[in-house]
Structures are given as C-alpha cells and as structure tokens.
Chain A
Amino acid sequence: MNRDAFARELGVLVGDGNVQGVPVTAGEPPAWQVAPGSAAEVAEVVRRCNRDGVAVLPVGSGARPTRWKAVAERPRVHVAMRRMDHVVHLDETSLLVHVQAGLTGAGLEKVLVPRGLSLGDYPATMLGSTIGGMIAVRTPGKSSARHGFLEDAVLGVSAVLADGRSIHTRVAPRRATGPDLARALCGSEGTIGVITSVVLRIHLKAEARLLAAYVLPSFDAALAAAYLALREECQPAGLRVYDSAEARAHLGDELALAGPALDDDAALLLVATAGPTDLAVCDRDLVTSAVEAEGGAATDPRLADAWWKLRGGDPRQVPPPSLQVTATPSKLRAVYRAVRDAARDAGATARAHVSRFDAGGAVVFVTLVADGKPLDGARLDAVRATCEQAAGDAGGWLLGARPAQMDPYLAALRAELDPNGILNPGALS
C-alpha cells in the first residue's frame, strides 16, 4: 500500500483538511484520523479501507483516551464523528429525534430543552459522550428508573457495514419482523458497523419535579424501602441510597446543616419524582410510606437539593468511584456487604452508594478510602482487585463483563459481515 497515495485518497473522500496523520511508534504501520461530514463519506471511507484491509476504528467525542489493541500490525483509520453532530429530524409529534452519531448528549439537550423536551432523566455525567458512542458501548451507567436503559430508547440505527453498504433500521414503535436488528449494532463497539445516526425517544419536560430525602436505620432498610416503593409501581426520576460514610463525603455540608448526625449504620435515601403534578406527588408519597414501613423518616429536603445538583454535574469535588458493580435486586445487599468486608480485610474502608435503578437491578458505586483519603496508585489497584473478586463471588457483575459463551457466535457474525476483519478488530474479542 502506498501511504501517500492512500492519504490523498482519504483527502479526496472527506476533504484534505479533515485527514490527519496519527503519530505511531517507529516500525508500526501508519494511522490516520479522518473526520467525515456525512454518512455517505463514512461509507466511502469504510469501503476504501475494506479494499486494502485497513482497520476502521470509530471515535466519538475523543474526550476519553481510546485503548486500541491487537491492531498495531495493520494500518488503521480512526473515523472521528465530531463533524457529524447535527439533529437530522426532530419529530415533536411522535417525540422522536433523529441525530447524527457525533452529537453529544449535552449538545442534543441544548436543542431539546428550549422546546420543552428532554432526552430523559439520564445521569448528566453521561451527556458529555456522543450519542453514537453511548449506543455503541454498553456500560451500566446509562439508566434511569423512569426511562430505563438508554439502549431501550433507541428506535432506529443507521450504520455503515464493512463493505460500505448502509443500513437503516426502520422506525416503528414496535415490530414483529424478526430479531431487532438495531440491537446487533447497539453495544457492538464498532465491530458490526460504524453507527452514523440514531433515532431516539425523547420526553416532554416534566410538569413537576419533587425532591425528597429520608434517613433510614440501615443500608438494608433503605434498599428495602426503595424496592417496596418500586413494587407499588412508583416511577422515580432519580433514586439513590447512600451509606453514612458516602453521604458525609458527598453531602457533608448539607448534613451538617440538616441537624441530627447520621449514625454509622444509618443510610440516606434520596428521591426525585417527576411527571404530571398529581403523579409526582403520588410517587413521592409512595416512597414516604415505604420509608416509614422500614422504620425511616423524612429529613431535611436540602439534602435532596444538594444531591440533585451533584447529579447534574455540580463542580464540587467528588472523587470518581473506585469500582462499579451491577447487581440484580436480590444481590445488591450481598454485593455491598462483600465489598465492604473485603476492603476492611485489606486494611481499607469501602463507602458506597446505589443508583441507576431499573427493572434489571441497580449499580453499586464504591469508593475505597484509607485514613480519610481515597486510595490511589498501586494500593488502589490491589484493594480494588480483592473487592472485585468479592463482588463477583457475591453475584455482582463487574464493569465490562462479557459472557464468553457467545464469543463464537459473535465471531461468526463478524466474519460474515466483515470478512476482512477491518471493523475495530481488537474489540470484543
């Protein structure tokens, strides 16, 4: 392959200004980053790469360092989606939005919010990512008790296959026309196709939003109260359970103002409800009843306000969690206890909150500390490994888990659609 000629060809396809060489270490095959301006240009680039067996690696916002592996032996093209950040169609009648893959969640909200619309009650922390990236990579943080897993909001996907063909899964509320083909692309991490645009459900801005905070005698009681309310069909817009240590770390100032000191065993439950006013009130009252049934009581709502600000991206310093464990409802307590015990045995303290509740369970966010300071470096790695082991043994799912059983099937699917193996070759294998 003639490098210069190839680079020139890429320039013809996407415009010279949108092709850059990517520095590589000596002896490595060349790499470029291209920024196509349309789905058609993506298709051209992929088709061209396929001809020479050049690897194609989609890049979202590029905000996070991407760890490529197993691709260093072949030339590669990083396809950056940053120029593809348009809202293609906003269907306010059906509450759907068709967006290009490079638009970030925050960028989309900027279009939606002035119109009284919203992507939904998803955690603000995920909104910095591109829509394509959020859909292509499945991680557990993208869930809301009211709107479910973000992937479930996907009604249609457009993508470019390895041979340059474009597919557009047809948009309908539901269908019974074989498997949901969009789901082959969601979570595929760029191995089945390069996602170029997505049709997403959106929501009317809630008519009312209520926040409430409760103190419960124990972490178990707080989880029990949460599930009691959910079983009464309460649909909170946000729900979080803090153990006392994590509550102090996240909401220390407000706790100091709020009066009674939190017992070490106690837990904090925070809830946001939203929707038509009557329903938001109903949902909040369901939580209140559940809390009372579990021996807890409402406390200063300023705690809830502080939590909501924090969730919305309050710049105050909260260290990122040391580990995240997803667990089904019955496993949450066991996972929490196992991690805490494992950390204690390793000479550290684990503090935690549980959040991202949905039908499949919730996520336990754990921060490991010693002497009042979050662990870091080699110590963190060592303690974290122990805690992860304990969490897995207790039935939790660690970030990035992958059932090996389906590997041969995924490999066969990829071989069928991408015989040259150009699409993100290092991923999911």
Chain B
Amino acid sequence: MPRAHVDPDRLRRELESLLGARRVSMRDGDLDTYARDMWPRLLLARRDGQLPEHRPHAVVWPETQRELVALVKLARSLAIPVIPYGGGSGVCGGVVPLRGGITIDLKRMQAIRSVSRDEMVVDVEAGLSGERFERELRRRGYTFGNFPSSIYCSTVGGWLATRAAGQLSTKYGKVEDRVAGLTVITGRGELIETDGPSRAVRGPNWTQLLVGSEGTLGIIAAARLRLSTAPQLEIFRGFEFDDVAAGTEAIRRVLQRGLRPAVVRLYDELDTFINSLGKKAATGDHAGAPITTGYGAPHDLSAAPVPMPGEGALPVLPRPEPPADDGVVSRLLAIARGRRRGLHKEAVGLALDHAKLVNRIAGTVARRGCRMVIGLEGARIRTEVEAALTFAELAHAGGRDTGEEAGWAWLAHRYAVSYRMSPTFRDGAFVDTMEVASTWERLMDLYHSVRDAISQHAVVMAHFSHAYAEGCSIYFTFAAHADDLAGSRRLYDTIWRDGLEAVTRVGGTISHHHGVGLLKGPYMAGEHREGMAVLHGLKQSLDPDNLMNPGKLGMAAAPTGVPRKEAS
C-alpha cells in the first residue's frame, strides 16, 4: 500500500498552528496505539510483539467543528488521508491507516449540547463515551437504548459510523433507527447538517447514506438522536426450548404479533451445554481453578484483567458484544484445557486443532435443549401487558419457563465477558465473533451453512439475538489455534472466508452490527454486487480525493483505484 508522502516537519508545523502543540502528537507510542483497533487479526501480531504495519503520520485531538473543518482542508492540501477515531473498540480494523495520514481522535468533542423534552431528541457530540452518554441521559429521565457490550469503551460517533447495535435493540432498534440528523464534515472539507423531518424533505435521505459510512465519506462530528423515556419497569425471564428451530419460531411469533421485548436471546445447543458446564464448574469442586466462572460486578471495570509485565498478556479486550453472556468462551477453553493448569496451553492447542471432532462430539453431547433469555422494559402499564402476552406466546410455542433468575443473571453480567478474552490469546489461541443476519425464511439455512463452514476449522457456537418482525441476527463465536503467527493468520482468514461465503450463498448479510472495516472489505462486492456502483458514486461525491479513511468498505485505498484484494 503506497504510503502518502508528506514532509513530517511541515505536517507538524501546520497541525500545531491549527491546534497548538499539546493536541498534536507524532510520538512513536501514540502512532503505534492509533495504528489499530481491537480487530483480533491485529491482536495476533501484537501478541507476537510485531509492530504495526500501517501507522498514521500524526494523531490530533481537535475540540471544535471549526478545527475539524480546518484539519480536513489541511489534509486535502497536503493530499494525505484522514482517519476519524473514536474509542478504538472496533473489531474489523476500520481505523487502520493504510496510507498513513492524520488520525483524528474525537474524544475531546463530547458535549451533550441539549436534550429536548418536547422533541424527545438529544444533540450530542460524536466523541462522547457511550457509558457516559447513557448515564447522563438516565440522570435526566431518558434513555437512548443502545447498550453494546463495548459501551464503556466506544463512542457515540463510532456507533453511528458503524451502524452499531446494543443488547436491547429488539425494542430500541439499532443506532440507524434512532438517528434524526447528523453533522458531518465531508471529504470536501465542508460542514453539512442532515437535520429536518426526513419525510418532509425531498431527495434521498442523506442521514441514512452517511450512517455506517465508517469514516469513508466524512467525519461524523455530532448527531441528533431520538430518546425514549427511561424504563419504569423491567421484567426478565428464562425459557428453554427443545432445539434452535423451535426457539427461533417462538421468537418469530412474538415479534410478528407486534410485541417488542427489549431483548431476546436464544443460545444454540452447544452454547447452552457449555454454559451449563460452566455453572457446575463455578459451584463444583474445582471452583478455585483459574477458569472464568465468576460474575464480576457488571459496572465494575476493576474486574477486567490487568496485563502483568512480562506475562506477554494483551491489555483488556473489549468487544462490541459478548460472544455469550458470561464467559462461555473461557468455559469452552476450560473444557479443552482440562483441570491441569500446567498442561492447559497444550490442551487448548490439541482441542482446537481437532475442531471438527470437538464440534461433533459437543453437538452429540449437547442435545439438551436451548436456553433463552428474554426481557421487557418500558412504560409500566404497557410493559406489563406486553410481558404477559409475550410469555404466553412463548409457552404456546413450546417454551418452558425457567424462572426469573435466569433472565436477571444475564442482565447483571452482560458486560462482564468483554474483558475476559485475554487468557484465550495468551494461551496461543484466538477467538472472534461473526454477526450475520437474514430474514426468517432463510435463518435456519444461514445457521447451518455458516456453522458447518466454520466448524471445519474452529470450535463454534452461536446465539440468536437482535430479532425483528422480518428476521433475526445470529452471533457466532469461534475459537481456534495454530502454531505460529503465519499459521494463525492463515487459519483466521480461512475461517472468515468460508464463513462469509456461506452467508452470501444463502442470502444473508455479512454484518449485522460490527461493520466492515478491513476484515469484510473483500466480501463487499459479494454483498452489494452492482450496488457498489452507488457506493462508489457516494464516495466520489463526498470525498472526491479519496482521503477519508481510504481502503475501507471494500473500496480502493489508492486514489488511482486498484481494488484491494487482500486484507493486509
């Protein structure tokens, strides 16, 4: 990838004249940090002590929209790229500066400018952390309703740039369903506002053409977002179904009757089985073993593992959504590693090297039904009525009520797992998640095809979450192991290739809410086909010089336009 050429001294001088020396950095430490996000493929290299392949030329921390405009104009005049950067919690390599450039950290732009009770909207700057945003709204009696498990380390702007979803999306929708307008600095260096009641305005809906653009069309600087009244009532419950098909059918019936639980999650047989093992492990004779069992306090970040010097450990690994609710990955690995701590690294390797076998055995052992967690929240009266109708519908569809405890346990620990993936990487293995979606008609096809494709190479399990009247998303978690970095990367790429090709074959979408970044770029043509012409048209219109986060969303990194074949 040709790195943009710029005289570093001149760049520093120009940037410092815009922002002052304190908000500009060209130090190695910062350039390394901003070279990546939480894409597991990059973390593999990191684990091996490799330096990032692509680093920005500079990192800056603007505080105003005027500074953002000036930065984009400067980048245009120097012909170097601009990469917007939020929390850095993305899992697809969306912020990797393929040609270098100026990485713009937006976290100093984090004001909540206004909350309107009449309109039920909030005007907020893009760099605000998700958790602080939601906390501020709750203090005023509202909720935005987006609760990704990355909420502690992702920003509002990052959510909008990737079309994020939170755990309660079944009621509140994904972020694109909640956005009323955007303030964007386009690649032309102009500030635009896409506000206004969309239905009253002629022409295409620009808000929806900018949401999910992952920084490739412009920088999302602020947004007007829809609010809901903070819930007055929360009702949670566990259910159990004979199998995945019965469980998904029940979800479909609930949604299509017009009922909107806040969350409904159905775990497949293997996931359910491993979870039950974990419970035994937690209360059983080897509770002291170093496997992840506990339910840390949900809002207590101190529960995250702290990397110890010399241990070769990764820092905490936040993810937009837990692979499962409470450390199932760790349990998966715990099975593999047995009880003997000293041997566990080898055991992990052994188990994951025979992924097919493990999948098959586990699949056979695991015929014990599927676990469901369902929760409703909202205004008191309506939520009560909806809950009664929902639980009755689930029972009617063959669900067995397993009581409130199962539901509340999920709620209490729903963020915990995000910070518990380091041990997996430390053990020489890797874990990743693939979140895909389809209409109900194709959902079982999607489930079986992707599961079969991945299980050739990795241990895989899945849960169904984010349900809609017309379909549902499936969240696959897979763990695998190879001997060295090259082997790990090869295996990693193969899993994704086979998985996503299976998705495209059955007519699903390759991403429900993690976004594209570098990871899924090569599969964008399969997803959109001729529609890519429209995406390229948008790019040409909003960013004619191809300087905004180049090489993402399956578009060319170089201005001359040789399509990128391989993720670097």
**Which A residues contact B (CB, under 8 angstroms)?**
91, 93-96, 137-140, 142-143, 149, 151, 155, 161, 165-181, 183-189, 192, 201, 203-204, 207, 227, 231-234, 275-276, 278-279, 282-283, 285-286, 326-330, 358-361, 397-403, 405-406, 409-410, 412-413, 416-417, 428
Contacts and interface: CB of A to CB of B under 8 A. Distances in A.
A279 B386 contact: yes
Nearest to A230: B120
B343 interface: no
Given A169-B531, A178-B535, 7 more contacts: A94-B471, A95-B469, A174-B176, A179-B210, A187-B204, A192-B534, A401-B201
A91 to B, nearest CB: 5
B508 interface: yes
Interface residues of B, number: 92
B209 interface: yes
Contacts of A168: 529-531
Interface stretch (B188-196, B298-306, B410-418): B188-196
Contacts of B388: 278
A329 B541 contact: no
Contacts of A399: 200
B50 interface: no
B202 A409 contact: no
Contact of B389 (A91, A203, A204, A279): A279
A176 B212 contact: yes
Interface in B505-546: 507-516, 520, 524, 527-531, 533-538, 540-542, 544
Nearest to B192: A405
B257 A174 contact: no
B524 A174 contact: no
A168 to B, nearest CB: 7
A175 B437 contact: yes
B196 A403 contact: yes
B472 A232 contact: no
Nearest to B542: A409
The listed residue with most B CB atoms (<10 A of its CB), out of A172, A201, A285, A330, is A172
A330 B116 contact: yes
Given A275-B258, A328-B119, A397-B197, A176 B205 contact: no
A165 B528 contact: no
B2 to A, nearest CB: 24
A183 B199 contact: no
Given A177-B510, A178-B214, A329-B119, A416 B439 contact: no
19 contacts: A140-B197, A143-B199, A172-B471, A172-B512, A174-B176, A175-B511, A177-B511, A178-B524, A179-B212, A181-B534, A184-B537, A233-B378, A276-B257, A279-B389, A282-B382, A397-B201, A405-B193, A406-B194, A428-B202
A171 B389 CA distance: 29
B209 A184 contact: yes
A170 B436 CA distance: 13
Contact of A173 (B194, B206, B257, B437): B437
B7 interface: no
Interface stretch (B161-169, B264-272, B557-565): B161-169
Contact of B200 (A137, A401, A413): A401
A188 to B, nearest CB: 5
Contacts of B176: 174, 180
Given A178-B212, A413-B538, A155 B382 contact: no
Interface in B283-324: none
Contacts of A358: 199
Contacts of B507: 170-171
Nearest to A96: B470
B251 interface: no
Contacts of B511: 175-177
Contact of A276 (B212, B252, B258): B258
B471 A189 contact: no
A413 B120 contact: no
Contacts of B468: 173-174
A9 to B, nearest CB: 24
A167 B201 contact: no
Given A138-B203, A149-B199, A172 B509 contact: yes
Contact of B472 (A138, A173, A231): A173
A266 B508 CA distance: 53
A185 B217 CA distance: 18
B60 to A, nearest CB: 26
A176 B200 contact: no
B174 interface: yes
Nearest to B175: A176
Contact of A169 (B180, B440, B528): B528
B163 A175 contact: yes
Given A170-B507, A192-B534, A409-B542, A330 B118 contact: yes
A172 B472 CA distance: 9
Given A94-B471, A201-B470, A170 B535 contact: no
B203 A177 contact: no
B531 A176 contact: no
Given A170-B507, A406-B206, A278 B385 contact: yes
B457 interface: no
B203 A176 contact: no
Contacts of B381: 232, 282, 285-286
B41 interface: no
A397 B200 contact: yes
A177 B208 contact: no
Contacts of B520: 177
Nearest to B180: A360
Nearest to A277: B389
B531 A234 contact: no
B533 A161 contact: yes
Contacts of A180: 176, 208-209, 211-212
B396 to A, nearest CB: 12
Nearest to A165: B530
A383 B382 CA distance: 45
Nearest to B210: A179
Contacts of A204: 256-258
- Nearest 8 CB-CB pairs, A to B? A330-B118, A326-B200, A173-B471, A172-B509, A412-B541, A397-B200, A94-B439, A176-B163
B204 A192 contact: yes
A184 B212 contact: no
B205 A172 contact: no
Contact of A403 (B199, B201, B531): B201
Contacts of A201: 469-470
Nearest to B554: A178
B524 A93 contact: no
B439 A173 contact: yes
A167 B538 contact: no
Contacts of B510: 177
Nearest to A278: B385
